[in-house]
Amino acid sequence: MSQDEILTKVKKIVAEQLEAEEEKVAPESHFVNDLGADSLDTVELVMALEEEFDIEIPDEAAEGITTVREAVNYITEKSASVA
Amino acid sequence: MKIVTNFKSKRVVVTGVGAVTPVGNTPEEYWAGLLAGRNGIGPITLFDASKHACRIAGEVKQFDPHQYMERKEAKRMARFAQFSVAASHQALADAKFVINDLNAEQVGTIVGTGTGGLDVMEAQHEVYLTRGPSRCSPFTVQMMIANMAAGLTAIHTGAKGPNSCPVTACAAGSNAVGDAFRLIQRGYAQAMICGGAEAAVTPLSLAGFASAKAVSTRNDDPARACRPFDLDRNGFVMGEGAGILLLEELEHALSRGAKIYAEIVGYGMTCDAYHITSPVPGGTGATRAIELALKDAGIEPERVDYINAHGTSTPANDKTETLAIKKALGEKNARDLAISSTKSMTGHLLGGSGGIEAVATVLAILNDRMPPTINLETPDPECDLDYISNGSRAKTVNVALSNSFGFGGHNVTLVFQKYA
């Protein structure tokens, strides 16, 4: 999966989970500051990403994922290491 | 027994109502439906009930939570809490009551429920079993817990005063209204959002009630399944929804020129201390609840015009309640007044029923019109009072009671009277 494909998928999941309009979700969007997520929303979002990309995101890593770009980078790295 | 009232008691009135029910999703539709004898019961659509012994219920239809809250908020809220938030917004709007920085701490919320977010618990348990503990939603507990209708209603309305949640099964909504009444009487709050909410039309709940032989299995004729006081009744029919009153201290209501529906004047509560589901033979628990409520109100039995009965359509309740009404009020008074079970139309909302039935009771007082009991075709010889079985009836309603009895032996009676 290319990074662009991952970005598209992540944006879609973020929009769904946080009930945001997809066009308003940008790579730099911060889940809490820009999209109104609270701590539980973030937990649920990370779970949805794990499900979609069939990966496991440990808690320590999840804490570092606060924006769409950070999510995409983490997933890209993780997918590469698996492949 | 003496009731000690060593405090200066304030008068409490109803200034707003809200209702989301199987016969209408606003108080106006609900009341029109009750007067028309509209049946709210049909085949279950909320889940596949094909394997169930009971496949009928009074579901809330075409309810759109987004009318009352953001999409994300609705997604994070169990169905019973959505009903509560919706009905509370209706009641506040109806009362033209605005909660602001100045009064927020003087406005409280008590919303009772029997089962809370059973729908969420069942769905997440399925996730747990099929996909493992790590896949369970971080919102599982918060959405499921029974107090969350009261909690979320306060979050959505800004009511920062006293807040709680009686979980007394089918008496919960009435306990909520009674407890709220007490708080205002004693000056702990100026206004209270109170009532009951329930959304227990779920696989596990229906299966359990069916195993307990508590629900009607008249699946081929849902419109006639709930038949309180009728000889052919064979159990209750599950309903869902929420009924909310805005109670307000009288002077506060008058000072802002509020419309007053009725005054709440009495609250009686007892326990059978007998059996988890069966009423105590002779109905002594229910009898005492009615007596205590009237004593609390200082109202003589002959002044009662109307009783909104618990009237579940179970063999045990309807005859025991009839007996309790006779014992508490006296045989002659019991025969002179009129009784109806609006559950014949809505089904039994468990903890929500005390809420919607309190709404029906105050609307009967306001409009001098009493809703009927539908499906009462062959009266049970042990149920021999006037249950308004031939359509709604116009009559001056000065004093009205609402009865609610719950599994566990909880008995609650509320007394309302015309405001004068």
Check CB contact under 8 Å for A19 and B71: yes
Confidence of residue B18 (pLDDT cuts 50, 70, 90): very high
pTM equals 0.95
Mean pLDDT of chain B: 97
Which residues of B fall within a CB distance of 8 Å from A40? 138-139, 142
B142 touches chain A (CB under 8 A): yes
pLDDT at A1: 86
Q: What is the pLDDT of residues B188-206, one digit of tens each?
A: 999 999 999 999 999 999 9
Residue B1 has pLDDT above 60, yes or no: no
Residue B4 has pLDDT above 60, yes or no: no
Average pLDDT over residues B263-290: 97
Check CB contact under 8 Å for A19 and B72: yes
pLDDT at B185: 97
For residue B406, give both structure tokens: 């719950």
Check CB contact under 8 Å for A44 and B138: yes
| ipTM (interface predicted TM) | 0.86
Share of chain B above pLDDT 90, in %: 98
A-chain residue closest to B137, CA distance? A44
B335 touches chain A (CB under 8 A): no
Check CB contact under 8 Å for A47 and B75: no
Average pLDDT over residues B207-226: 97
Which residues of B fall within a CB distance of 8 Å from A44? 137-139
Closest partner residue to B139 (CB to CB) among A18, A40, A51 is A40
B125 has catalytic annotation: no
Q: What is the pLDDT of residues B96-138, one digit of tens each?
A: 999 999 999 999 999 999 999 999 999 999 999 999 999 999 9
Residue B2 has pLDDT above 70, yes or no: no
pLDDT at B335: 98
Interface test mutation site (partner B, options A47, A57, A59, max chain B beta carbons within 10 A): A47
Residue B6 has pLDDT above 60, yes or no: no
Average pLDDT over residues B19-43: 98
Which of B195, B192, B176, B180 is closest to B246 using CA atoms? B192
Closest partner residue to A19 (CB to CB) among B75, B139, B142 is B75
Q: Which of A34, A38, A41, A59 is catalytic?
A: A38
B275 has catalytic annotation: no
Share of chain B above pLDDT 70, in %: 98
Higher pLDDT, B57 or A79: B57
pLDDT at B226: 98
Interface test mutation site (partner A, options B69, B70, B72, B137, max chain A beta carbons within 10 A): B72
Residue A38 has pLDDT above 70, yes or no: yes
A-chain residue closest to B134, CA distance? A47
pLDDT at A15: 96
B71 touches chain A (CB under 8 A): yes
pLDDT at B278: 93
